[in-house]
Structure 1
C-alpha cells in the first residue's frame, strides 16, 4: 500500500525543522550567538550602572526652583543666582541641564538644555516638566546614539547572518544535487517556504532573547524608568524585524538559486547585502536627522530600524508605525511572490549563472 504524500503545510514544516536542527547543531552558530549574547548583556549592564551612578547628573537650579528638586534622586544640584547664570552654565558645559521656575509651565518650572535633555534627568523629577532647548538643532544625547547603534547593529548582524545562511544552504543543495532528491519529496515552493520559516524562527528567537536581556539588564540595574521609555520601541522593532526579515529571506533564497557554486553567491546576493548595510550606516550617521529617519521609516528595507528609532526619539505620530508596517507588509508579499518565481525557475538550472530576466520567465 502506498503512503499518502505529505501536504504542503507538512512539507514546509519538515523543511523548517531541518533548517532549525542543522543550525542549532552548528558549533559556529552557537558560539557566535553566545558572543553576541554576552556582549549585549555586558553593554546593557554597564550602561545601566553608569546611568545609575550615585554621583548623579549635574543640574543648575535657581533659588525659586529649589523646591522642585528636593526629592529628586540621581541629580547633583548646583545652585545658581538666576536664569541667566543657569543658561550660561548649560552653554559652558558645566552642567547637563538647568531647572528654573516658570509661571507659564503647567508644572511651575522648566528644564533648560543645550541641544537635548537626558531622559535620566527628566525621569528623576516627580513630574515631567516643560523642556526648552538652547540649541534645538543639536544632538539628542548620548543615549539616543547608543540606541541607534543597538537597533542598527542587531538588524544588520541578524539579517546578514541568517540571509547568508539561507543563500549558502540553497547553493550547497544545488551543488551536491541534494535538491533533486528534496523536490522529489516536497514541492519546490514548500522547500522555499520551509527555509524562510525555519530561519525566521531562529532569527526571531535571537531577537526575543536579546530583548529579554535588555529587560533583565535594565531591571537588575534599577533602570525601570529607562526601560519604560525604550520598551515600546523594542516591541515595534521586533514586529518590523519579523516582516522585514521574511522579505529579505525570500530574496536571499531566490538570489542564491540563480547560481550553482558557492564562489558565485556574491554575484547575486551583493545588492541584498548592501540593502542590509544601508540602514545600519544611515542610522549611525544620521540618527538625529528627522528627515532621513522619516524617509527610512517608509522604505521597507530600512523601516525596521528607522521607525523604532523615531518612536524612541518621540518624533513619530501614533499612526505612522501602522502606515509604515502596512507598506512593509505589501512589499513583503510582493517580494515573496517574485522570490518564489525566481526560485522555482532557477533551482534546477545548473552551470552558468541564471540572469534575472530569464529567472522571471517561465
Structure 2
C-alpha cells in the first residue's frame, strides 16, 4: 500500500465514522435550530414592535394611502385599515389589535391611542396635517398653484457627506469578524481535542498496535488529522452558511459580500489553525494511555488556545486596526483566530495576510515535526504517563 493510499484510507475511516455519530448530527442541527429560533424570535418581537397598525375612520379614510406612502419613505412599517365603528375601534385599541385610530380631516386630524403614539408616526401625521393647512393658506393668499409650491418645498433635501463613508458598516463588519473568530476557536478546540481523544482511545484498546503493523505512525497520524479536520470543516461551513442565510433573511445583515468573503477566509484559516493545533493535541494525547490522564496533558495546549483567544479577541474588539491587534494577528498560534476577524473588519493589508499565512505555514512545519516525533515515540508506550523529554528524544 502506498503512503498516499494509507493516509487516504485512515482519513476516510475517520471522516465516515465521525459524520455518522449522533452527537455530530444532533449537535449541528441543534446549533442551527437555536440560531433559527433566535432569529425568528427577534423578527416576531421586534418586527411587531416596529410595525404600527392604524385604523382610519370617517373623513380620515382618504388619508390612509398618503400616510402609508409618507411612512414608507421614512422606512416606517404601517398597516392601514378602514374603521366604520369608532366604538369598536376603541376596543381594538384596548386589546392591541390597533395602535392608533385616525379621525377628522387632514387639517383637523385627531388620533386615538391606547397609551402613546410612535414618535416617528406622530411626525408623519403632523407633517401631513401641516401640509394641508399650508396648502389652504397659500390658496387663500392668492398663490396661483399651491400644489406646485408645496411640491418644490417638499423636494428640498439636506445633503449629508460622511467623512468616513463606511462608518455605518463598521459595526456589522466587526460583528461578522467576532463571530467567525469565536466559531474558529470553538471548532479548532473541539476537534483538536477529538484528535487527542482518538489517539488515547486507540492506545487504551491496543488497536494502534494492529494498525501500526500495516502502516507507519506518520501515516496514521496524518490520516487521523485530515479526517477529523474535514469533519470540523463541514460543521463549521454548515453553521456559518446557515447563520449568514438566517441573518440575510431577517435583514439583520446587509453586507452579504463581506459575510461570504469572511466565510471563505474562515475556511482557509480553519485549515491552517487546525493543522497547527491538531499535531500538538495528537502528540499530547500520545503521552498517556488512559482517558482519565488525558486532561492533564491536554490542558497546556488548551490553555494556550484559550488564553490567546481571550486576549486577542478583546484586543480585536477594542481596535481591530490597532498596533496590538496587528502584532498579535501575526503570531502563528493566534493568527487562525484573529486574522479572519481583522479581514472582516476591513483593516488588513495584503502583505499582512501573506506574512501571517507564511509564518503559520512555517509554524505548522515545525509543530508537525515535533508532534509527529512525540507521537511516533510515545504511541506504543503503555503504562504510566511518558515524559515529554523522553518522547522527544525517542
Confirm or deny a common fold (TM above 0.5): yes
User: Which residue of 1 is the match for residue 91 of structure 2?
Assistant: none
CA distance in 2, matches of 1:186, 1:33: 33
Distance 1:331-1:45 versus aligned 2 partners, 3 A rule: farther
CA contact (8 A) 1:152 1:279 kept: no
Correspondent of 1:236 among 265, 271, 279:
265
- Please name the residue that 2:359 is paired with: 327
Counterpart for residue 24 of structure 1: 19
> How much does 1:242 deviate?
0.8
Kept in 1: contact 2:177–2:345 (CA 8 A): no
> Which whole-Å CA distance do the structure 1 matches of 2:268 and 2:74 have between them?
36
Residue of structure 2 equivalent to 1:81: none
Q: 1:29 to 1:211 in 2, by over 3 A?
A: closer
The residue aligned with 1:358 is 390
* The one of 270, 274, 277 aligned to 2:306: 277
C-alpha deviation, 1:256, in angstroms: 0.4
Distance 1:277 1:314, change over 3 A: same
Question: What is the distance in 1 between the residues matched to 2:295 and 2:267?
Answer: 28
Superposed CA RMSD in Å reads: 3.3
Checking the alignment, whether the CA contact within 8 Å between 1:171 and 1:257 is kept in structure 2 is yes
Q: Over residues 11-33 of structure 1, what are the superposed CA-to-partner deviations in whole Å (9 max), with x where a residue is unaligned?
A: 11111122122212322232222
| 1:266 and 2:261 aligned | no
Q: Aligned runs of 1:282-301 on 2, under 5 Å? A: 282-286=311-315, 287-289=317-319, 290-301=322-333
Q: Find the aligned partners of 2:368 and 2:326 in 1 and give their Cα distance.
A: 26
CA distance in 1, matches of 2:337, 2:47: 27
Structure 1 unmatched runs, 5+: 1-5, 57-69, 79-98, 102-107, 120-139
Contact 1:298 1:324 in 2 (8 A): yes
Q: How far apart, CA to CA, are the structure 2 residues paired with 1:74 and 1:182?
A: 66
Partner of 2:343: 311
Structure with higher Rg: it is 2
Counterpart mapping for 1:157-306 below 5 A: 157-222=186-251, 225-286=254-315, 287-289=317-319, 290-306=322-338
Q: Residues of 1 paired with 2:296 and 2:358: CA distance? A: 31
Moved more, 206-215 or 233-242: 206-215
Q: Distance in 2 between matches of 1:314 and 1:239?
A: 17
Identify, as 1 or 2, the structure richer in helix.
2
Shift of residue 324, structure 1, vs aligned partner: 0.8
User: Matched residue of 1:185: which SS?
Assistant: coil
Instruction: Quote the offset at 1:270 in angstroms.
Output: 0.8
SS in structure 1 opposite 2:318?
coil
175 and 53 in structure 1: CA distance in 2 versus 1, 3 angstrom threshold: same
Aligned residues, how many?
296
What do residues 309-360 of structure 1 show as CA deviations (whole Å, max 9, x unaligned)?
2222222222211211111111111111111111001111111211111111
Deviations 1:77-96 (A, max 9, x none): 99xxxxxxxxxxxxxxxxxx
- Shift in Å, 1:42: 4.5
Shift of the 252–349 alpha-carbon distance from structure 1 to 2, 3 Å rule, reads same
Counterpart-to-counterpart distance in 1, 2:44 and 2:313: 24
2:375 maps to 1:343 = yes
1:154 match? 183
Distance across 2 between alignment mates of 1:348 and 1:118: 58
2: CA distance, partners of 1:276 / 1:11: 31
CA drift of 1:200 comes to 1.0
SS in 2 for 1:350: coil
Indicate conservation of the 8 Å contact 1:260/1:352, yes or no. yes
* 8 Å contact from structure 1 (residues 256, 265) kept in 2: yes
Task: Supply the distance in 1 between the matched residues of 2:271 and 2:3 (Cα, whole angstroms).
Answer: 22
User: How far, CA to CA, are the matches of 2:354 and 2:46 in structure 1?
Assistant: 32
Counterpart CA distance in 1 for 2:43 and 2:347 is: 24
